[in-house]
Structure 1
């Protein structure tokens, strides 16, 4: 049996603002943007070159969901964008207006720089010390 995590839902305040950041500033691919009726859309984005896990951008509805925007990980880094070249991607992302919370640093597990999306979610841009296996 083979299983995989295919989608991770990320609460956002607005579909178009989320698409602009994830596809514009981060360079992700827009895989799907389907109207679901009632103002809902099925919006899926994924980093270029990725082939499995993608983000489902879910517009928050109601006060409880709206309060969770940017806090889905309780203020911790909750998302990890792996790269094969941190220097290249850090420079490109900064040039496109991504807000980094620190300069790149080197740890035993790899090189990392924390950034924030416009909604308050913290991300690691991470170049692992050792390439990932299959």
Structure 2
């Protein structure tokens, strides 16, 4: 058993793809036409970090209720965790590409950590080795 996908609700497919692939370095696994449950067109967009097993389904907000959770999917908590082998290099690269970090890097018993915002405003931990 494995966790295959998690969903992040975003404002726009293409902007989200650009952030996850161009800034975070994820691969675009799939971008296919699809339909909503009531038959309207949408896209099935999946990105995945290099070497990762679990992908992220980027879901463009459909309606007011979904639009209301963009950037606040986990009620302001850190809800996503990106582990990297070289924390300092990843942090510098992401800063250089304009990623907004809301905390400075710090050392914890589990490793280096800094909190950043994705394109939608969700909080992520960038994690490095202990």
Verify same fold: TM over 0.5: yes
TM-fit CA distance, 1:39: 3.5
Distance 1:39 1:121 in 2: 26
Question: Does 2:24 correspond to 1:22?
Answer: no
1:3-14 alignment runs, 5 A limit: 3-14=1-12
Q: CA RMSD, aligned part only? A: 1.0
Gaps of 5+ in 2: none
Q: Structure 2 matches for 1:1-134, cutoff 5 A?
A: 3-37=1-35, 38-50=40-52, 52-129=53-130
**What TM-score, normalized to structure 2?**
0.92
Aligned residues: 126
**SS of residue paired to 1:99:** coil
Normalised by the size of structure 1, how large is the TM-score?
0.90
1:34-87 C-alpha deviation (Å, 9 max, x unpaired): 01153300000011222x101000111111111011111100000000111110
Write the deviation string for residues 71-120 of structure 1: whole angstroms up to 9, x where unpaired: 11100000000111110100111111111112210011110010001211
Give the distance between the partners of 1:56 and 1:107, measured in 2 at CA. Answer: 30
Q: Does structure 1 conserve the Cα–Cα contact (< 8 Å) formed by 2:87 and 2:129?
A: no
Aligned to 1:132: none
Q: Which runs of 5+ in 1 are unaligned?
A: 130-134
